[in-house]
Amino acid sequence: MAEIDYSEPRIGVFVCHCGTNIAAIVDVKKVVEEVKKLPGVVHAEDYMYMCSGIGQQLIINAIREKKLNGVVVAACTPSLHYETFARAVESAGLDKQRYEIVSIREYCSWVHFHDRRRATEKAVRIIAAAVARIRNNRVYKPIRRRIVKKALVIGGGIAGMTAAIDIANAGIPVILVEKEPTIGGRMIQLSVTFPTLDCAQCTITPKMAEVGKHPNIKLYTLSEVVDVSGHIGNFHVKIRKKPRMVDIEECRLCGWCSNACPVEVINEFTRGLSKRKAIYLPFPQAVPAAYVIDSEHCTRCGMCVKVCPVNAINLDEKEEIIEEDVGAIVVATGFDLYDGRKLPEYGYGIYKNVIDSLQFEQLIVPSGPTKGRIVRLSDGKPAKTVVFIQCAGQRDVNHLPYCSKICCMYTAKQALMYKSKVPDGKAYIFYIDVRTAGKGYEEFYRKVQEIPGITYIRGRVGKVWEDEDGNLIVTGVDTLSGELLKIKADLVVLALGMVPQLDRELAAKLKISVDENGFAQEVHPKLKPVETEAGGVYIAGAVQGPKDISESVAQASAAASKVIQLLSKDYIEKDPLVAEVDESRCDGCGLCVSTCPYGAISLENGVARVNEVACEGCGMCAAACPVGAIDLRNLTEKHFDEMIKAIYGVKSR
């Protein structure tokens, strides 16, 4: 391939119609005509779908035939197709630093559909700025960084465990961080799982055991990630590990400690349906298989220490900060249920017999707090009538605007399980729509719907209250018949929506963004569903959006495969767009040194020196330098000057 000559700018502009997405609003022919007049532009053309094979070939041919040394693609957003065109221009021998994609779709046609003339003019201005920028871009050698062949998975639910096992099986060491004393996530709290009705514990416990004994997986429970620095291929993380106070290796699970412990607290595993001690085993199959002290409630009385036959307990154990270097991160922190107390009309948190869907799961589990008997929590009497309220706090602008997608299925499952345990019981299910898309799901729902004693009622519940005899009274409207309904019930079960379990602070540390509802944001819902804006950080499971188990598992394996792809390389090429010092101008004042948030600049022999690997390319130093001696590569003073001039050089008509 002929070497490209970068001396005089020869820029090609490629304007995409995106079908009609752009062309229906922006007059692309006019745009082409206008951009041809821009300084440095020697070629401009438009095409229906620039991202298609033919579209890319147009670019490649033009680079070769017109001897282009710069390319501007005006199309959709860089997050969608930057890489597509980067590969195309590089295949024609042009360095991608002399290519840019600017959005005239998200940034123009899709938001200015009301004004064709201005949208067209704006598109020209956007392209003019990009041309000015590319004209001044220099080609720098890429900076190579070593990749740390180790991965971090945050969250030990089914998604996190699956990702960890997949990565570990590829021979890559994994660190799995779980904030609870055991892995398992929400799935371990479930009874059976739709649509196959296999027991949740039987499916998940072998996975948990596999994680526990996998030679490539290092598990930190009671732990949270408190700091993340670095970048794709090379992150440095700090993990805070709360004291367990029980030695995992020594504990023999005899349970004497728990018997001796005088402190009783609410058991979060059963969602408050039972009590546990301050030293406890979360549940029999917990991994790691060891008791744990709840340091918040423990009174340090020392009773457990006295009875432990193997001296496994150490009440003086302190919190630890563990530091690890990893090359990639998977975030799988899962979900929580929406807070039912925000729905006072349903009486959650007011009446004992109004419970949430996870509590109902616990009532079904044979080893659960009621040994699998479905009873009124107020007095332990058998529950002969159960009302299920679907979409509780969901699809409601005052609560959660979205649909959590799995509740129709789990409510059908719960009604079925209820009938199998209480054959003469009655189940009423209030729904708005029943949504059961999924393999085998509709069939499952049909089956449940036909069971005598299970009644589906289309409508919303207005209010739930308790009468003098401790029965719940549910009032609502059947919107199909228009009838007002009043049902006397023993239990009311709320299908509360799924909310993400991802605090903003952790998201900010990981540099990933969240959507309007707080779920982790993928780069592209269709094409990059597990990638995040932060390179090297991937997402899996319910933290990205409401999901059932099969979807969580599929996404976890997808995230794992991305991690494996990344960590199978030895080096990663870093963007060379870092700060650069003009030594002849630098007077060594050191202002940049103190400005840099990464400590990437130092003074050597009286002039500033940039550590290219540490520099993140923000440009803070360039704006601070009083003599203009430090600049950001390819976003220099000259770039700004010319971009601004180009935007205002375009004539309005």
Partner 1 sequence: MTWEPWLIGFLEKWTAGLAAESAGVNRVRYSPNIVLINIPCPSRLSPVHIVKAFLAGADGVYIGGSMPPANCHYKVGNYKTFKRMYLLKKLMAQFGIEPERLRMDWYVSPMYRALAKNIDEFVETIKKLGPITSRERVDGL
Site string for ligand FAD, 525-554 (x = CB under 6 A): ----------------xx----xxxx-x--
Please state the closest distance from residue 652 (CB atom) to partner 1, in A.
7
List the interface residues with partner 1, window 545-604 (CB under 8 A): 595, 597-598
Rule CB under 6 A: choose which of 403, 506, 564, 603 binds ligand FAD. Answer: 506
Spatial separation of the C-alpha atoms in residues 309 and 514, rounded to whole Å: 49
Which tokens in the block code for residue 415? 């009604």
Contact between 459 and ligand FAD per CB under 6 A: no
Residues 6+ apart with CB under 8 A from 415: 386, 388, 427, 429, 448, 451, 454
Cis peptide before 597 (omega within 30 of 0): no
Q: Which of residues 337-366 bind ligand FAD (CB under 6 A)?
A: 357-358, 361
DSSP per-residue letters across 48-117: S-TTSHHHHHHHHHHHHHTT-SEEEEEES-HHHHHHHHHHHHHHTT--GGGEEEEESIIIIITT-TT-HH
| 388 contact choice in ligand FAD, partner 1, none (CB below 5 to 8 Å, kind-dependent) | none
* DSSP symbols for 500-547: E---HHHHHHHT--B-TTSPBPPSBTTTBSSB-SSTTEEE-GGGSS--
Task: Please name the residue that has the structure tokens 């298989």.
Answer: 289
110 is a site residue for partner 1 (CB under 8 A):
yes
Only one of the segments 19-27, 143-151, 171-179, 275-283 lies at the binding site for ligand FAD (rule: CB under 6 A); that segment is: 171-179
Minimal distance, residue 391 CB to ligand FAD, in Å: 14
Among residues 99, 269, 346, 410, which is the contact residue for ligand FAD, using CB under 6 A?
A: 410
Q: Looking at residues 304 to 333 of the shown chain, list those that interact with ligand FAD (rule: CB under 6 A).
A: 332-333
190, 406, 622, 629: which one binds partner 1 (CB under 8 A): 622
Nearest to 130 by CA among 72, 68, 50: 72
Is residue 417 a contact point for ligand FAD (CB under 6 A)?
no
User: Residue 287 binds which one of ligand FAD, partner 1, none, with CB within 5 to 8 A depending on kind?
Assistant: none
- Give the three-class secondary structure for 445: helix
Cis peptide before 39 (omega within 30 of 0): no
Residue 156's binding partner out of partner 1, ligand FAD, none, with CB under 5 to 8 Å set by partner kind: ligand FAD
Three-state DSSP class for residue 559? helix
601 counts as binding ligand FAD under rule CB under 6 A: no
The 8-class DSSP code of residue 313 comes to B
Q: How far is the CB of 367 from ligand FAD (least distance, A)?
A: 17
| Token couple for 246 | 């029980």
**Is residue 279 within 8 Å of residue 292, measured between CB atoms?**
yes
Residue listed under structure tokens 């036909």: 450
Q: Map residue 264 onto helix, strand or coil.
A: strand
**Residue count (the chain):** 653
Minimum separation from the CB atom of position 75 to partner 1 (A): 12
Residue 84, interface with partner 1 (CB under 8 A)? no
If binding is defined by CB under 6 A, does position 73 make contact with ligand FAD?
Answer: no
Q: Which stretch binds partner 1 (CB under 8 A): 233-241, 295-303, 428-436, 615-623?
A: 615-623
Structure tokens at 76: 């959709």
Q: What string marks each residue from 377 to 406 as x (binds ligand FAD by CB under 6 A) or -?
A: -----------------------------x
| Min dist. Cβ of residue 496 to ligand FAD (A) | 8
The only residue of 18, 126, 498, 567 in contact with partner 1, by rule CB under 8 A: 126
Query: Is 109 or 362 the residue whose CB approaches ligand FAD more closely?
Result: 362
**Least distance between ligand FAD and beta carbon 334 (Å):** 2
Q: Which of 84, 169, 216, 521 binds partner 1 (CB under 8 A)?
A: 521
Angle at 548 between CA 544 and CA 553, to 5 degrees: 75
Q: CB under 5 to 8 A by kind: which of ligand FAD, partner 1, none does 186 bind?
A: ligand FAD
- The verdict on 528 binding partner 1 (CB under 8 A) reads no
Question: Which of 121, 164, 564, 200 shows the shortest CA–CA distance to 368?
Answer: 200
Please state, in angstroms and as integers, the Cα–Cα distance from residue 76 to each residue in 73, 80, 385, following that order.
9, 7, 55
Burial of 499: CB neighbours in 10 Å, binned 0-12, 13-18, 19+: buried
Instruction: Give the three-class secondary structure for 205.
Output: helix
59 binds ligand FAD (CB under 6 A): no
445, 409 contact by CB (below 8 A): yes
**Contact flag: residue 620 with partner 1 (CB under 8 A):** yes
Nearest-angstrom CA–CA distance, 66 and 56: 15
Two tokens at 9? 């700018």
Residue 169 near which of partner 1, ligand FAD, none (CB within 5-8 Å, type-dependent) = none
Applying CB under 6 A, the span of 30-38, 95-103, 173-181, 237-245 interacting with ligand FAD comes to: 173-181
- The partner in contact with residue 605, picked from ligand FAD, partner 1, none with C-beta cut-offs of 5 to 8 angstroms by kind, is none
**Quick check: 9 binds partner 1 (CB under 8 A)?**
no
* Binding region for ligand FAD (CB under 6 A): 154-160, 177-180, 185-187, 190, 193-194, 224, 332-335, 357-358, 361, 406, 410, 413, 501, 506, 541-542, 547-550, 552
* Binding region for partner 1 (CB under 8 A): 77, 79, 103, 105-108, 110-115, 118-119, 121-122, 125-126, 129, 504-505, 508-509, 511, 513-516, 521, 533, 595, 597-598, 616-620, 622-624, 632, 635, 640-641, 643-645, 647-648, 652-653
